[in-house]
């Protein structure tokens, strides 16, 4: 890959592998300094091949002037500008609002990002205008004889990427402190179901007598939404508590295995009797209305089926079956499928890449990544987008391998 220039009195021609890629018209500012304006018919969104060809050069090797480039990715747009007249390099990372799918608003993102930048990254600016929303950073290149543009580009990009990751991780962590479960009961199970969820709310009140926890039940027809807002660091504890309660209610463990407190044990036994009584009444009423009472055995069989169905339904709302370990395996499989389906890379190389990630083999991960990027220039971008999606959905429970991969790339 070779980039060279032909500078005439009227225009600057940029060649890639001996073919014209861009033509800039030479213009002069009021102060007499020269700048280049892209000639009509040529696009600023050039191929990465040309762009990285330019980045391999030193500023001193590029004709004096102002150069603009941008790249449109799925989740963001990159704007790059370098001025060889005053040796200034700027990089902007613009968020793509059309693909915004995070569990928080853009307003929350901007507020947190602005505070973070102000406190920790004073050389970075957060911008929000009709033209776009994102981050920008500018810096001088002092030693123009030896400093390749690529180093500056990668340094700026990595810094913005780090900030973006911090913002999304922090806001996702905040949004995932809530536990929300929903279930749609059959009409005959509705009253018993509501009773069970309300009883769990009472248990939480006893577990956290000083407050700091919010419990609510929202009813939409036969659909019930239970929301628990947990204190810092308590989400896992509450999920385990909810899971154990579900095991008691569905008969998988005894109340004595749930708690040593005799009063709570007595109350749980009362709840189990109440639920069974409620289901018996609903079953009898249902059979009566359908005129199908044909004997005691039929009633018992039907009640057994109803109880089993009800318990299976409750399992979906009173358990935390998707443990972080299970989620980790699911997410790894998702990434493998994504890379195999949406990149031009070989399956064998992708499997090797994922294996090095799971082993946290830094050298192997970097080497395999370089090979994969040679087969598909968008490979790294796809991984970046995947990481942000996982972080947004898992918050504080982000798997260790995702954090490792984010540091490496």
Q: How confident is the model at residue 124 (pLDDT cuts 50, 70, 90)?
A: very high
pLDDT surpassing 90 at residue 113: yes
CA–CA separation, 255 and 84 (whole Å): 75
H/E stretch holding 21 reads: strand 19-28
Span 179-190, average pLDDT: 75
Residue 320's pLDDT is: 52
Provide the pLDDT confidence category of residue 135 given band limits of 50, 70 and 90. Answer: very high
Structure token pair of residue 319: 């358990």
Q: pLDDT tens for residues 228-241? A: 877 665 777 787 88
Instruction: Check whether 323 has a pLDDT greater than 60.
Output: no
The domain spans of the chain are 3-174, 178-317, 324-408
The lowest-confidence range among 88-97, 127-136, 181-190 is 181-190
Instruction: Band the pLDDT of 295: cuts 50, 70, 90.
Output: very low
Query: What is the DSSP annotation of 125-146?
Result: EEEEETTEEEEEEEEE---TTT
Confidence of residue 122 (pLDDT cuts 50, 70, 90): confident
Reduced to 3 states (helix: H, G, I; strand: E, B; else coil), residue 174 is: helix
Which pLDDT score, from 0 to 100, does residue 394 have? Answer: 66
- Which residue is it, tokens 């970097």? 366
Confidence at 81, pLDDT banded by 50, 70, 90 = confident
* Pairing state between β 3-7 and 88-95: unpaired
Q: Are 125 and 119 in contact (CB under 8 A)?
A: no
Output the average pLDDT for the chain.
77
- Whether 125 contacts 135, CB under 8 Å: yes
Residue 325 pLDDT > 50: no
* pLDDT mean over 374-401: 75
Coil, strand or helix at 34: strand
Q: What is the pLDDT of residue 397?
A: 63
CA distances (Å), origin 390, targets 165, 318, 358: 11, 24, 16
Residue of 333, 341, 345, 330 whose CA lies nearest to 393: 330
What is the C-alpha to C-alpha distance for residues 353 and 49, in angstroms, rounded to an integer? 24
Most confidently predicted of 29-33, 269-273, 401-405:
269-273
Highest mean pLDDT pick, 42-56, 193-207, 287-301: 193-207
Between 274 and 41, the more confident residue is 274
Averaging pLDDT over each range in 211-220, 282-291, 337-346, 362-371, which range is the top one? Answer: 362-371
Q: pLDDT tens digits for 38-58?
A: 777 766 556 667 777 777 777
Q: Which DSSP helix (H) or strand (E) runs through 339?
A: helix 324-342
Q: Which residues 6+ apart lie within 8 Å of 105 measured at CB?
A: none
Which of 84-93, 174-183, 351-360 shows the lowest per-residue confidence on average (mean pLDDT)?
174-183
Single out the residue of 378, 381, 356 nearest to residue 366, CA to CA. Answer: 356
pLDDT of residue 311: 67
Q: How confident is the model at residue 116 (pLDDT cuts 50, 70, 90)?
A: very high
What pLDDT does residue 179 have?
73
Confidence grade of residue 297 (pLDDT, cut at 50, 70, 90)? very low
The confidence score (pLDDT) of residue 307 equals 63
């Amino acid at each position: 890959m070779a980039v060279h220039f032909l500078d005439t009195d009227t225009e600057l021609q940029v060649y890639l592998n001996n073919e014209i890629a861009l033509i800039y018209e030479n213009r002069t500012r009021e102060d007499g300094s020269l700048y280049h304006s892209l000639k009509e018919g040529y696009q600023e969104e050039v191929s990465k091949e040309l762009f990285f060809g330019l980045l391999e050069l030193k500023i001193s090797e590029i004709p004096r002037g102002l150069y603009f480039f941008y790249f449109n990715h799925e989740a963001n747009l990159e704007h790059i500008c370098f001025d060889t007249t005053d040796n200034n390099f700027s990089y902007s990372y613009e968020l793509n609002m059309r693909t915004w799918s995070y569990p928080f608003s853009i307003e929350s993102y901007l507020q947190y990002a602005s505070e973070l930048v102000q406190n920790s990254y004073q050389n970075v600016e957060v911008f929000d205008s009709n033209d776009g929303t994102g981050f920008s950073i500018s810096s001088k290149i002092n030693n123009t004889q030896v400093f390749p543009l690529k180093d500056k580009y990668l340094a700026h990009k990595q810094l913005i990427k780090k900030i973006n990751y911090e913002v999304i991780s922090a806001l996702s962590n905040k949004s995932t402190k809530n536990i929300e479960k929903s279930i749609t009961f059959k009409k005959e199970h509705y009253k018993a179901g509501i009773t069970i969820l309300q009883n769990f709310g009472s248990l939480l009140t006893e577990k956290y007598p000083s407050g700091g926890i919010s419990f609510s039940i929202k009813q939409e027809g036969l659909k019930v939404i239970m929301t628990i807002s947990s204190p810092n660091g308590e989400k896992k504890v509450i999920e385990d508590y909810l899971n154990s309660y579900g095991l008691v209610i569905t008969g998988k463990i005894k109340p004595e295995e749930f708690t040593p407190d005799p009063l709570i044990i007595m109350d749980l036994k009362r709840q189990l009797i109440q639920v069974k009584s409620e289901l018996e009444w609903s079953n009898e009423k249902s059979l009566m209305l359908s005129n199908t009472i044909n004997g005691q055995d039929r009633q018992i069989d039907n009640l057994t089926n109803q109880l089993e169905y009800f318990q299976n339904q409750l399992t979906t709302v009173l358990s935390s079956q998707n443990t972080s370990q299970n989620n980790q395996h699911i997410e790894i499989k998702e990434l493998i499928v994504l890379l195999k389906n949406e990149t031009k890379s070989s399956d064998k190389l992708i499997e090797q890449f994922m294996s090095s990630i799971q082993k946290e083999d830094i050298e192997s991960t970097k080497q395999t990544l370089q090979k994969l990027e040679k087969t598909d220039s968008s490979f790294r971008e796809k991984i970046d987008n995947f990481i942000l999606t996982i972080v947004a959905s898992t918050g504080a429970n982000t798997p260790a391998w995702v954090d490792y991969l984010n540091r490496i790339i």
